[in-house]
Structure 1
Amino acid sequence: MSENTPTPSSARPPKQSRTGLKSTGTRKAASKSNRSRAREFALQALYQHLVGGNDATAIDAFTRDLAGFHKADSAHYDALLHGCIEHAASMDALITPLLDRKMAEISPIEHATMWIGVYEFQNCLDVPWRVVLNECIELAKEFGGTDGHKYVNAVLNGLAPKLRAVEVAADKAAGAGAA
Structure 2
Amino acid sequence: MTEDNKDASDRPARGSRTGLKATGTRKAAAKSARSRAREFAVQALYQHLVGRNDAAAIDAFTRDLAGFHKADSVHYDALLHGCIEQAAELDALVLPLLDRKLEEISPIEHAIMWIGAYEFRQCPDVPWRVVLNECIELAKEFGGTDGHKYVNAVLNGLATRLRPAEVEADKAAGKAR
- TM-score, normalised on structure 2? 0.86
2:113 is the counterpart of 1:114: yes
Q: CA deviation at 1:126?
A: 0.6
Structure 1 unmatched ranges of 5 or more:
1-13, 21-29
In structure 1, the partner of 2:26 is 18
Structure 2 unmatched ranges of 5 or more:
1-21
2:136 is the counterpart of 1:143: no
What letter is aligned with 2:27? T
Q: Deviations over 1:130-153 (max 9, x none)?
A: 000000000000000000000000
In structure 2, the partner of 1:11 is none
- 1:52-71 to 2 correspondences below 5 Å: 52-71=51-70
Q: CA deviation at 1:176?
A: 2.3
- 1:57-136 to 2 correspondences below 5 Å: 57-136=56-135
CA distance in 2: counterparts of 1:168 and 1:177, whole angstroms: 7
What letter is aligned with 2:153? A
SS in 2 for 1:31: coil
Q: CA deviation at 1:169?
A: 1.1
- TM-score, normalised on structure 1? 0.85
CA distance in 1: counterparts of 2:132 and 2:47, whole angstroms: 23
CA distance in 2: counterparts of 1:75 and 1:177, whole angstroms: 29
**Matched-pair identity in %:** 79
Q: Deviations over 1:16-35 (max 9, x none)?
A: 33310xxxxxxxxx610000
Q: How many residues are aligned here?
A: 156
Q: CA deviation at 1:53?
A: 0.2
What letter is aligned with 1:175? G
In structure 1, the partner of 2:18 is none
SS in 1 for 2:124: coil
CA distance in 2: counterparts of 1:140 and 1:146, whole angstroms: 9
In structure 2, the partner of 1:155 is 154
Q: Deviations over 1:26-73 (max 9, x none)?
A: xxxx61000000000000000000000000000000000000000000
- 1:26-41 to 2 correspondences below 5 Å: 31-41=30-40
What letter is aligned with 1:170? A
